[in-house]
Chain A
Amino acid sequence: MIGSRGTKQYGNVLDKPLGKGKTEVSLNAFSFLFSELVQYNQTRVDNIAELERRLEEAGYGVGLRMLELLCYREKGNKRETRLLGILSFVHSTVWKSLFGKVADSLEKGTEHEDEYMISEKELLVNRYISVPKDMGAFNCSAYVAGIVQGVLDGAGFPARVTAHYVPVEGQARPRTTILIKFLEEVLQREARLG
């Protein structure tokens, strides 16, 4: 029975406050599940671009749901309507609830006005993954890129989001950059809003 264990009784399920949710899951369990997800998709594709696309698709649905859930939980049912607002929402709120920390950095692209980058020294999904040399620049963070795209699309900021490895000087491991390229309409609207 709903609400029977709590101190307060709720007649309607919609009146019941949404639980904070369990904030942590086992990293091992997640890693095995994610590994299976990649392997499953790998058997169903012909090339690496296709695999990347399928991982992005898998993340997209997660992103849409995360947006809805987090807007309700953290933002009092309001969503961000400005470009910088939604970017910092992804960088801090979404990241915190997914990975337990805010992203290492959020930067604006130097060459293009419509590009933003979220960088991570070591993304959680990549913790145990070594990409073989013959797969070139493939990055399993395509899944995370999909999540980001889902969040942005759902909030009305359509963008093309991709994941890349970026080598860092003096470090054996490259860092991962999530590149966000907004569609023109978004920037035009942003300019109108001033």
Chain B
Amino acid sequence: MASIYNLFIINKSGGLIFYKDYGSTGRLDTNDSLRLASLWHSMHAISQQLSPTVGCTGIELLEADTFDLHCFQSLTGTKFFVVSEPGAPGMESLLKTIYDLYTDYVLKNPFYEVEMPIRCELFELNLAQALRKDKLGLAGR
């Protein structure tokens, strides 16, 4: 069964605003997760400039021997990325689902300050639900 290791959300200036790890593999401590988030932000920006294709929007998928990193950038520059098992399917749609939840439960929450770390009970609740559903869906395939 495919599974994801960690989920990151970074704001448009590269600051980590949400981090969560799943399962026992690939856990990161707070410093490492912050470092990886800002590193990815820079790599993403550089890849945009170096890419030979015109109108490149940055790296969407990084494939390594032990993990895949899927990235989705919203129009406002917020980046969502998950680290998953190599070859895990359905990650693009999962990122879209997470983006959906973010727009609903984070941006419409009057107590959330834009670009600041996300601490919204409803977001986490619905995120957990979506991931559970995703896992069941994948198991059924």
Q: Which residues of A contact B (CB under 8 A)?
A: 28, 31-32, 34-39, 42, 128-132, 135, 140, 172-173
Contacts and interface: CB of A to CB of B under 8 A. Distances in A.
Nearest to A140: B110
Contacts of B119: 132
B109 A35 contact: yes
Q: Which secondary structure dominates chain A's binding surface?
A: helix
Contacts of B104: 128
A130 B118 CA distance: 11
Contact of B110 (A28, A39, A173): A39
Contacts of A39: 110
Contacts of A172: 125
A140 B109 CA distance: 11
A128 B105 contact: yes
Chain B interface residue bracket vs A: 10 to 19
A43 to B, nearest CB: 11
B123 interface: yes
B141 interface: no
Contacts of A135: 111
B8 to A, nearest CB: 20
B109 to A, nearest CB: 6
A172 B129 CA distance: 12
A130 B108 contact: no
Given A38-B111, A129-B122, A130-B111, 16 more contacts: A28-B108, A31-B108, A34-B110, A35-B108, A35-B109, A35-B110, A37-B110, A39-B110, A128-B122, A129-B110, A130-B105, A130-B109, A130-B120, A130-B121, A131-B111, A173-B125
B125 A42 contact: no
Interface of B: 104-105, 108-111, 119-123, 125
B37 to A, nearest CB: 23
Contacts of A35: 108-110
A11 B57 CA distance: 61
A75 to B, nearest CB: 34
Contacts of A36: 110
9 contacts: A31-B108, A38-B110, A128-B105, A128-B108, A128-B109, A129-B122, A130-B122, A140-B110, A173-B125
Nearest to A132: B111
Nearest to A38: B110
Q: Which 4 A-B pairs have the closest CB atoms?
A: A38-B110, A128-B108, A130-B121, A130-B120
A32 B121 CA distance: 18
B125 A129 contact: no
Contacts of B109: 35, 128-130
A122 to B, nearest CB: 10
A131 B109 CA distance: 8
A173 B122 CA distance: 9
Contacts of B120: 130
Contacts of A31: 108
Contacts of B110: 34-39, 42, 129, 140
A39 to B, nearest CB: 5
